[in-house]
Amino acid sequence: MIEIRFHGRGGQGAVVASKLFASAVFREGKYVQAFPAFGVERRGAPVTAFARIDDKPIHLRCQIYHPDHLVVLDPSLIEAIDITQGLKDGGWILINSKHKPSDYPDLMERFKVATVDASGIAVRNHLGSRTNPIVNTAILGAFAKITGLVGLRALTQSVKEEVPFDPEGNVKAVEEAYNRVVLP
């Protein structure tokens, strides 16, 4: 079983990202789970969402405490909370950032780090606003590329069918992030 934890802030789309990821993986014939964990439910508050994938039915019904990979939609969370808590050594951390992975040397000591400017991609594709870009679909394109856990075709199909606002703009964001993710 592969477990993924998504860290974001209310309004960025972390919960929707976990659901879209699970939907795309399901399209490829895997078993999936996606669910959120909320603290204070308000825009801007930290939000955590989870996804599990496996080749057999998933019977676990708890939060993910030892994820294989992390997706960070808001880089300010790196300083605010311990995002790496429980992350397995060698796991991927994908960060929405203009910086290079090497700009996160503390994280690179134990984990694989990749970055993508999901905020810039969202703004260019008119997803959200300049001050509050919706980065979920862009971050998923980059995550698909670095992990290979889901194909680009399944991901774009899920986005087309399940994103109610501007599915074409969201598909463009997925594809652009897939091609622009920065690896170590």
Determine how β-strand 31-38 pairs with β-strand 69-72: unpaired
What are the boundaries of each domain within the chain? 2-180
What local confidence, expressed as pLDDT, does residue 55 receive? 97
* Cut 0.75: pTM above it: yes
**Are the CB atoms for 126 and 165 separated by under 8 Å?**
no
2-180: CATH topology is Pyruvate-ferredoxin Oxidoreductase; domain 3 (3.40.920)
The string of pLDDT tens digits covering residues 47-56 is 999 999 999 9
Helix locations, the chain, DSSP H: 14-27, 77-80, 105-108, 118-124, 136-147, 152-162, 167-180
The string of pLDDT tens digits covering residues 15-24 is 999 999 999 9
Q: Is pLDDT above 80 for 43?
A: no
Could you tell me the pLDDT band of residue 38, with boundaries at 50, 70 and 90?
Answer: low
Closest by CA to 177, choosing from 86, 76, 73, is 73
* C-alpha of 141 from chain center: 9
Structure tokens at 131: 């001050």
H/E element holding 36?
strand 31-38
Could you tell me the pLDDT band of residue 10, with boundaries at 50, 70 and 90?
Answer: confident
